[in-house]
């Protein structure tokens, strides 16, 4: 038997059965039932387990509907990558991945990212497979903590139940990192903003990158995961584009 940090004891067989059920319900290909242990997440992510129990989280993507968002008072805001250009608020938690020369990524925005002050914590991503899109150690300073994903890929890897023990799953997009974190941290309500999934997915300021089909499919899988593992969590979309029929509107 395995004592899981999510307040119940489950057997290895039940874990496999649970993930196989998710695989059956998820309309995606290249679905991997792989959980990789992470000493990085054990050190830096596990302290956040249920830290925000019962609170409200707002996940900020950088789709065009971000421009319409009016910040919710008393909510904890979590953002990714080029949210550094969002001027209405500084996010509480900031997640950065994609060390490459693409338009919306770390190299392009390094100066802004390094100077950005998240209210609570800034996280830089590492990859368990060691591939080059993880943020190199030389860019870490005392304001930054690491988090580890299973690998950089467009394939579908399941998110772990115990994020403080295993690598982050759903590696297709950085946006799924703060969502997994919010679930692990115990937020009761999670609202999605700027996760448009149709048309220009990243179009804030001068950043433009077209959304792919896999992004929307991954949100469908995420919905099934939340239903099964976190049935009491309320997740809604503010100004939905593409996610309207996946999650309820706020």
Judged by DSSP in three states, 57 sits in strand
In whole angstroms, give the CA distance from residue 190 to residue 30: 27
Domains in the chain: boundaries: 2-238
Would the pLDDT of 12 be above 50? no
Highest mean predicted confidence (pLDDT) among 95-99, 140-144, 223-227 = 140-144
The two beta strands, 2-4 and 8-10, are: antiparallel
Regarding beta strands 56-60 and 189-193, do their DSSP bridges make them parallel or antiparallel, or are they unpaired?
A: parallel
Of 95-99, 112-116, 196-200, 222-226, least confident by mean pLDDT is 196-200
**Alpha-carbon 223 to chain mean position:** 13
The two structure tokens encoding residue 173: 């997009």
Show Cβ contacts of residue 22 under 8 Å, excluding neighbours closer than 6 positions. 158, 221, 224, 225, 228
Distance CA 47, CA 52 (A): 11
Strands 234-238 and 200-204: unpaired
CA atoms of 233 and 210, how far apart (whole Å):
30
Structure tokens at 72: 């919710």
**Is the CB of residue 93 less than 8 Å from the CB of residue 118?**
yes
- Tell me what pLDDT residue 6 has: 37
The pLDDT of residue 8 is above 70: no
In Å, what is the CA distance from 54 to each residue of 58, 75, 190? 13, 11, 10
> Do residues 64 and 204 lie in contact, with contact meaning Cβ atoms separated by under 8 Å?
yes
- The closest of 75, 108, 107 to 93, measured between CA atoms, is 75
Question: Would you state the structure tokens that stand for residue 202, as one six-digit string?
Answer: 């990243």
Work out the percent of the chain whose per-residue pLDDT is above 90.
47
How far apart CA 217 and CA 200 sit, in angstroms, is 17
Q: How confident is the model at residue 29 (pLDDT cuts 50, 70, 90)?
A: low
Question: What span, in angstroms and rounded, lies between the C-alpha atoms of 214 and 144?
Answer: 30
**What is the mean predicted confidence (pLDDT) over 73-89?**
93
Residues 239, 243, 247: CA angle, nearest 5 degrees: 90
What does the pLDDT read at residue 153?
75
Give the residue-averaged pLDDT of 122-144: 87
| Residue 7 dihedral angles phi and psi, to the nearest 5° | 70, 30
């Amino acid at each position: 038997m395995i004592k899981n940090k999510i307040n119940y004891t489950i057997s290895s067989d039940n874990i496999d059965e649970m993930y196989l059920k998710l695989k059956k319900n998820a309309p995606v290909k290249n679905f991997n039932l792989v959980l990789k242990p992470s000493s990085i997440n054990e050190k830096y992510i596990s302290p956040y387990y249920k830290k925000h129990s019962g609170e409200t989280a707002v996940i900020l993507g950088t789709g065009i509907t971000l421009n319409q968002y009016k910040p919710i008072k008393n909510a904890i805001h979590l953002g990714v990558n080029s949210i550094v250009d969002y001027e209405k608020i500084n996010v509480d938690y900031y997640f950065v991945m994609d060390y490459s020369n693409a338009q919306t990524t770390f190299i392009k925005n390094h100066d802004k990212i390094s100077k950005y002050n998240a209210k609570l914590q800034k996280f830089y991503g590492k990859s368990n497979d060691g591939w080059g899109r993880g943020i190199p150690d030389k860019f870490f300073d005392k304001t930054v903590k690491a988090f580890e994903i299973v690998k950089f890929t467009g394939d579908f890897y399941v998110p772990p139940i115990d994020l403080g023990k295993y690598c982050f799953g759903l590696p297709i997009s950085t946006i799924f990192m703060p969502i997994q974190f919010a679930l692990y941290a115990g937020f009761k309500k999670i609202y999605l903003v700027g996760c448009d999934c149709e048309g220009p997915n990243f179009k804030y300021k001068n950043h433009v990158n077209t959304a792919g089909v896999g992004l929307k499919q991954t949100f469908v899988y995420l919905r099934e995961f939340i239903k099964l593992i976190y049935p009491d969590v309320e997740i809604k979309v503010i100004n939905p584009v593409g996610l309207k029929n996946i999650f309820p509107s706020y």
